[in-house]
Structure 1
C-alpha cells in the first residue's frame, strides 16, 4: 500500500475536521531520553507537525527551527507555542523538506513520524546532511513489520526497519549511538492506538 504524502495529503491530515485528538498529542517520549546528555544549541525539527517536539526543545533552551509542509499544522503549532513559557522563540518554516535547501546546519536534527513523498530512507539521508559536524541526528519512525497486520498498519512508504536506517550511517562520518524498537499506546481523541516505533540516534563525527 503506497500513499502520496504531498502537500494536499498533509493539509487534509491536519485539518480540524480530520485530526481531532492528533493535533494535540504530547511530545514523543524518546526526545527527552535521547537528548538528555546534549548541551542545548541549535535544533531543527524536520516535519514538525503541530509542534509538540519543537516546543519541548525550545523549553529546554534550544534555538529551534521547525519546518513542515502543512500551513494548517504550522498555524496550530504557532498557537500552541504562544501558550507556553518557552524563553526562545521558534523559527517556523513552511517548506517541502524533500526539496528544501536550507544552506546551513544544526547541532541537532530530529524527525518524528515525518513522511515525505520521496520515501523514508531518502528523507533520512537528506536531513542527515543538515547535521553539523559533532552534531546529532535523532530519527523516530514507524517500524516496518511484515508480521503486524492490525487496523492501524502504516503504508509501506511510511515505515522503515532499524537495519535499513542504520545502514545509511555505516560510514566513518557517523557513529550510531542508539538503535532500538519500542511499542507504546497513545490515545488520539480518546481512542487507544498502538504504535510500533523505531528509534535511531547517530552522531556526525566529521
Structure 2
C-alpha cells in the first residue's frame, strides 16, 4: 500500500466527512450541461458522484480509500442512484479508471503526503486519456496557503503543468471566494477546460 493510500484509508477510518451535499462549484459549472458520462476522481464519500447521478449522469467514481467507497455506495443506495454509479478503488499512482468521459471532475484532489508533482501527473493523465472529444475537464482546488497542504499551485501553474495542446480551450480560469462556516470565507481555484 502506498503512503497516500495508507494516509487516506486512515483518514476515513477515523472520521466521517459526509455532508450530503455536492461541491457548489461543481453544481454551478455542470447544472446546465446535458448529462452524459462522468468520472469523479477522488470521490471520497460520494457527495459529487451521487449528485451527478441524481441529475442523470452515469458516473464512474474512483478513490483510494476502501472505507470511503463503502460509505459512498451506501449513501448512493439510500439516494436511489446506486445503479447509475460504478464505484472503483484506484491508487492513482498505480492504476487509473478506463474509458473516456464527457465530464472528468477533480475536486480538491490534494494530498498532504503526495506533492504537487503527483497531482499534476494525475491531472495530466486525466486530460490525455479520460476526457472524450467535446468533453470537459473540471479542476477545483483550494487556493493560496492551506493549513494541511501548505502553499498550493495557482491555476496558471496547473495549466503550465498540463501543457495542453491546441485541441483544448479554457472556458473558465477563476479564483472564487467560497463561504466556510468556521473561517468565514476561503478561496478556491477553478479551471474549466474543453477538449475539441
Please state which band the TM-score falls in when normalised by the shorter chain.
0.7 to 0.9
- The structure-2 alpha-carbon separation of the partners of 1:103 and 1:25, relative to structure 1 and needing over 3 Å to count, comes to closer
User: How far does the alpha carbon of each residue in 1:45-93 deviate from its partner, in whole angstroms, 9 at most, with x for none?
Assistant: 0110000000000001001000000001101111111111338521000
2:75 aligns to what?
80
Matched, 1:30 2:28: no
Residue 9 (structure 1) aligned with residue 7 (structure 2): yes
Q: 1:114 offset after TM fit, Å?
A: 1.6
- Contact conserved, 2:73 with 2:82, CA < 8 A, in 1? no
CA distance in 2, matches of 1:31, 1:95: 22
Structure with greater proportional helix content: 2
The Cα of 1:33 is off from its aligned counterpart by 1.3
Name 2:172's counterpart in structure 1. Answer: 178
Cα distance between partner residues in 1 of 2:172 and 2:110: 21
Matched positions, count: 189
Question: Does the 8 A contact of 2:140 with 2:189 survive in 1?
Answer: yes
Q: Distance in 2 between matches of 1:11 and 1:185?
A: 28
The alpha carbon displacement at 1:11 in A equals 0.8
Counterpart residue number, 1:198: 189
Residue 193 of structure 1, CA deviation: 7.1
Equivalent pair of 1:169/1:176 in contact (CA under 8 Å): no
Greater than 4 Å deviation, 4+ residue runs: 191-194
Q: Give unpaired runs (5+ residues) of structure 2.
A: none
Using the size of structure 2 for normalisation, the TM-score is 0.86
By relative contact order (CA 8 Å, sep 6+), the higher-ranking structure is 1
Superposition RMSD in Å: 2.3
